[in-house]
């Protein structure tokens, strides 16, 4: 299953989460987790993850949070630096789920 890019929108309000980059990364991962679970999978089902960042120095933060959401072996992933993301987000992630 292909999951389109998720930015740090709070599903309850439809607004971007406020706070630092950590809050944005956590919200994006929580959104991906909710989608995976709704599809009958989990984050363990992620085969490929693509991370878009407006500042690649935040990639170390992504790595920190990934350790809390994913177990080894980690999914394949790519990190791409971009000039802008929708609604002023600093991080966006999309993934491919391998559902049985």
Domains for the chain: give ranges and CATH numbers: 2-97 (3.30.1330.40)
What digits encode the pLDDT tens for the residues 3-49?
999 999 999 999 999 889 999 999 999 999 999 999 999 999 999 99
19: left (phi > 0), else alpha (psi -120 to 50), else beta?
A: left
What the block records as the tokens of 95 is 């993934």
What digits encode the pLDDT tens for the residues 44-73?
999 999 999 999 999 999 999 999 999 988
Return the number of other C-beta atoms located less than 10 Å from residue 24's C-beta. 23
């Amino acid at each position: 299953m292909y999951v389109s890019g998720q930015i740090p929108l709070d599903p309850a309000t439809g607004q971007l989460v406020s706070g630092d980059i950590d809050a944005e990364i956590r919200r994006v991962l929580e959104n991906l987790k909710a989608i995976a679970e709704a599809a009958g999978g989990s984050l363990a089902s992620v085969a490929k993850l693509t991370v878009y960042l407006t500042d690649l120095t935040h990639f170390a933060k992504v790595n920190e949070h990934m350790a809390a959401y994913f177990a080894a072996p980690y999914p394949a992933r790519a990190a791409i630096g971009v000039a802008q993301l929708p609604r002023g987000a600093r991080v966006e992630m999309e993934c491919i789920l391998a559902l049985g």
